């Protein structure tokens, strides 16, 4: 481990040399220095403070109460990273999601497989690709028999913010398990339950790409097997969780339902989203909760595109009131009622203004 003096010196030199570089979605590195008390750099070739991301995480003191930024140099990081709950207020930033990838070959366990698990509150990721192993197929259609549970990220903590990130896998891609989260300008790819969990999240201006799945064993004579974009796990009417997609785009090579019920009070809303003609007519699936459909909150509001035709939808899709819709699509009321977003570094808070989001 380098001395603190060496680390700070290297960080200063790196930031001085790169302060004019622009990140992939218009964020400059210099704009993200406000409110950050310390910056360290990781590079897979070793030409930085740390060679691995986990080393940088381990360096952060437990009980940290100040924002610390970890800059990821371009490259592929083959790691299995765990951010413990006592390591809060971390900003993990790449220059471009096309240049910085965190990946790991691990599958089978929905709550622990994959490259990164976030247990700490106040986590921010900017311009990073999170990827699990089974995304290297050369064709857009994937054999069902080869698919395994393989999350690209596991979110186990409240108050997380993602900007310009990619999440790539096939099944259980984004494990949005619990807590309040905000995703903006992100790309999410998968086929089966690939945005799932009991999180309370807004997905704003995101692209959702549905991978194609085929199987001779499941579909008689072979053919395309429809997947599921969401599997939200709200368990009772008092829980505040749910997934809200606002101004997103849904496209891809496969067919899918908008969602299926992971728990008995599942809640998912698509608002002003452009939906390609890849959604099965019924739109939603009750899964193991048939007969309890009146408890779900599944809704499509002001969506466009060929896939937004609701003439064949299930009869139990909800028609929400204007008041209910306004509550769900507004960050201040749905995920920021205590004002946690205002405690983010000031350059990030500026991106959350009404004129920036809506």
Mean pLDDT across 190-200: 96
Tens digits of per-residue pLDDT, 221-256?
A: 456 788 999 999 999 999 999 999 999 999 999 999
CA pseudo-torsion sign 312, 315, 316, 319: positive
Answer whether 77's CB lies under 8 Å from 103's CB: yes
Note if 31 is an active site residue: no
Mean pLDDT across 156-171: 95
Measure Cα distances from 336 to 165, 173, 259 in Å.
Answer: 21, 25, 25
Does the pLDDT value for residue 288 go beyond 80? yes
Mean pLDDT across 47-71: 93
Tens digits of per-residue pLDDT, 132-149?
A: 965 555 555 667 767 788
Q: What is the CB neighbour count within 10 angstroms for residue 249? A: 16
Give the C-alpha separation, 306 to 274, whole Å.
9
Of 4-8, 180-184, 338-342, the range with the highest mean pLDDT is: 180-184
Mean pLDDT across 5-29: 37
The rounded mean pLDDT for the chain is 86
Answer whether 234's CB lies under 8 Å from 267's CB: yes
Give me the DSSP letters along 164-190. Answer: S-EEE-SBS-EEE-SSEEEEES-EEEE
Mean pLDDT across 62-77: 94
Tens digits of per-residue pLDDT, 103-125?
A: 998 887 778 788 999 999 999 99
pLDDT at 345: 84
Does the pLDDT value for residue 197 go beyond 50? yes
Mean pLDDT across 1-28: 37
pLDDT at 10: 38
Active-site entry in 25, 58, 176, 193? 193
Active-site entry in 35, 58, 158, 172? 172
Instruction: Report all structural domains of the chain as residue ranges with CATH numbers, in order of start.
Output: 4-352 (2.160.20.10)
Note if 338 is an active site residue: no
Does the pLDDT value for residue 30 go beyond 50? no
């Amino acid at each position: 481990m380098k001395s603190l003096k060496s680390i700070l010196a290297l960080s200063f030199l790196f930031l001085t040399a790169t302060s004019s570089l622009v990140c992939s979605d218009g964020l400059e590195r210099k704009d993200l220095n406000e409110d950050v008390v310390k910056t360290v750099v990781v590079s897979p070739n070793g030409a930085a403070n740390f060679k691995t991301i986990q080393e940088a995480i381990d360096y952060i003191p437990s009980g940290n109460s100040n924002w610390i930024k970890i800059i990821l140099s371009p490259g592929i990081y083959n790691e299995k990273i765990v951010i413990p709950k006592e390591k809060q207020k971390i900003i993990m930033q790449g220059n471009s999601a096309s240049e910085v990838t965190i990946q790991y070959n691990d599958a089978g366990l929905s709550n622990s497989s994959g490259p990164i698990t976030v247990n700490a509150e106040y986590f921010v990721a900017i311009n990073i690709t999170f990827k699990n192993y089974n995304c290297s197929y050369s064709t857009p259609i994937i054999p069902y028999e080869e698919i395994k549970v393989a999350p690209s990220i596991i979110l186990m903590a409240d108050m997380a913010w993602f900007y310009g990130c990619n999440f790539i896998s096939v099944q259980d891609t984004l494990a949005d398990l619990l807590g309040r989260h905000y995703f903006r300008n992100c790309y999410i790819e998968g086929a089966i339950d690939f945005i799932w969990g009991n999180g309370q999240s807004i997905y704003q201006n995101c692209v959702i790409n549905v991978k194609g799945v085929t199987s001779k064993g499941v579909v008689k004579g072979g053919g395309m097997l429809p997947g599921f974009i969401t599997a939200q796990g709200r368990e009772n009417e008092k829980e505040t969780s749910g997934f809200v997609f606002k101004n997103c785009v849904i496209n891809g090579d496969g067919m899918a339902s908008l969602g299926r019920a992971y728990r008995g009070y599942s809640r998912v809303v698509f608002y002003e989203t452009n939906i390609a003609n890849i959604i099965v007519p019924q739109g939603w699936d009750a899964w193991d909760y048939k007969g309890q459909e009146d408890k779900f909150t599944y809704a499509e509001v002001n969506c466009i595109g060929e896939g937004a035709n609701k003439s064949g939808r299930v009869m139990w899709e909800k028609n929400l009131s204007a008041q209910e819709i306004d509550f769900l699509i507004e960050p201040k009321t749905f995920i920021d009622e205590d004002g946690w977003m205002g405690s983010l570094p000031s350059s990030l808070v500026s991106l959350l203004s009404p004129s920036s989001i809506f």
